[in-house]
A and B are shown apart, each in its own frame.
Chain A
């Protein structure tokens, strides 16, 4: 690497700067949407795994294992290349032609399902660490099973598992980079494209690294605030 001519300005020069910004915007959108869907589904599935009903436990266990055990990249390929083929032809055409950015939404499906299975495991672990008598105490006041989970067990369990949830949240944002493999124009894709146009790979990938660092540090900060908000005496406390 003799006399490599650094040219950092490619990161903001026209048109590359706006490519980068578009990429960042897509990464953030993808991460945020997937995170909230995954949190909702994960909490639901994690709860179903500890309920007293066999059928719901069976379903939730199947769900968790299915989406947790297959590599994310393979799942994305499945949703992108295989799943649409299974649909009736007219639906498949609608998916590709009728929905703008269909590849974006396909990644939303894949990444949300994958992440939700991991969140479900954390939620389940949190719930299993809550004593039986805590459930009994809530039931003894006249709560239904649903109310017991809704008002007592889920809010309690989420507080217990905030540290691993923070890690999951970071992982979602990092995993959005796999979306480039199905042509979603997110940060990684854009940095690769800049590299292809300018032959300035070092600057382009370094730029992507910095972008991910900033995004993940922001996530850590926000989750820290959430943890502080939710912190209650006697449970895990943030030091």
Chain B
């Protein structure tokens, strides 16, 4: 479904991604972790065509992102993305946040889009918030709306960039529960997170990135039980402690 082939990206002399390769099958959940500045967000943005890269290629469903003639708008409709700081549209009510893209991009009728939006809000557990503004919701609720907004475009792949790291501890679980359900329903997911409980439960593969490259990868068992590099061990000790 997604094939990342030797992707490298520079900002001037500074290399943000270095020969990153990874294959993600349909229905797989891949968790990416690593220290700040490792390039995790950059990789997500590259996957969605929000950032260009200089070398290598990313192929999504047979579409090459390195090809300049690729229609990025079409590509992005295959992928939903969820951000650390929710990024809901503050001037639109929750319902509108979810329906605007289906209406404007997919030319769905307002009635259909709203019906779909209510189903999604039901699915993320907050149908009663539809008529409020994002500013009136808690962080956890906003992030669940953000997930619903992404799902409204019926993507085949969902990208999450640290979806719970701006949340208070008591709200993390409500968001993770939604994500776990999504994973179990067969969604292909790329998740940047340090929530190792989530990784244990649903990840098919865990990747550890540092300084722009993948330094370790493994299925959940191998990754936690016997990390190959000293650096991974150190990092895991640190995040598993807290």
Contacts and interface: CB of A to CB of B under 8 A. Distances in A.
Contacts of B146: 137
B191 interface: no
A212 B163 CA distance: 53
B45 A136 contact: yes
A155 B87 CA distance: 15
A137 B87 contact: yes
B89 interface: yes
B115 to A, nearest CB: 18
B100 A151 contact: yes
A230 B92 CA distance: 10
Report, nearest first, the 7 A-B pairs whose CB atoms are least far apart: A234-B135, A233-B135, A137-B87, A141-B101, A140-B81, A142-B105, A142-B77
Interface string A17-31: 000000000000000
11 contacts: A133-B83, A133-B84, A134-B89, A140-B50, A140-B150, A141-B105, A142-B105, A147-B104, A156-B91, A159-B91, A232-B135
Interface string B113-136: 000000000000000000011111
B241 interface: no
B153 A141 contact: yes
A239 to B, nearest CB: 16
Contact of B87 (A134, A142, A144): A134
B104 A235 contact: no
How many residues of B sit at the interface, in one of the four size bands? 20 to 34
Given A140-B76, A232-B90, A133 B85 contact: yes
A209 to B, nearest CB: 38
Nearest to B89: A152
Contact of A142 (B88, B101, B135): B101
Contacts of A152: 89
A143 B77 CA distance: 9
Main secondary structure, interface of A, reads helix
Interface string A149-163: 001100110010000
B34 interface: no
A142 B83 contact: no
Interface string B88-106: 1111000000001100111
Query: Among A131, A151, A159, which residue has the most Cβ atoms of chain B within 10 A?
Result: A151
A136 B81 contact: yes
A232 B96 CA distance: 14
Contact of B105 (A131, A133, A143, A235): A143
A137 B50 CA distance: 10
Contacts of A141: 76, 80, 100-101, 105, 149-150, 152-153
Contacts of B164: none
Given A232-B135, A233-B133, A234-B134, A143 B91 contact: no
Nearest to B78: A142
B19 to A, nearest CB: 25
A133 B87 contact: yes
Nearest to B142: A234
Given A141-B149, A151-B104, A155-B91, A235 B85 contact: no
B30 interface: no
A147 to B, nearest CB: 6
Nearest to B105: A142
B85 A131 contact: yes
Interface in A134-189: 134, 136-144, 147, 151-152, 155-156, 159
Interface string B14-35: 0000000000000000000000
A233 B87 contact: no
B89 to A, nearest CB: 5
Contacts of B132: 233
A224 to B, nearest CB: 18
Given A136-B83, A137-B81, A140-B50, A232 B91 contact: yes
Given A133-B87, A142-B101, A159-B91, 16 more contacts: A131-B85, A133-B84, A136-B45, A137-B87, A141-B105, A141-B152, A142-B73, A142-B77, A151-B104, A155-B91, A156-B90, A233-B135, A234-B90, A234-B134, A234-B136, A235-B91
B48 interface: yes
B199 interface: no
Contacts of A139: 50, 76
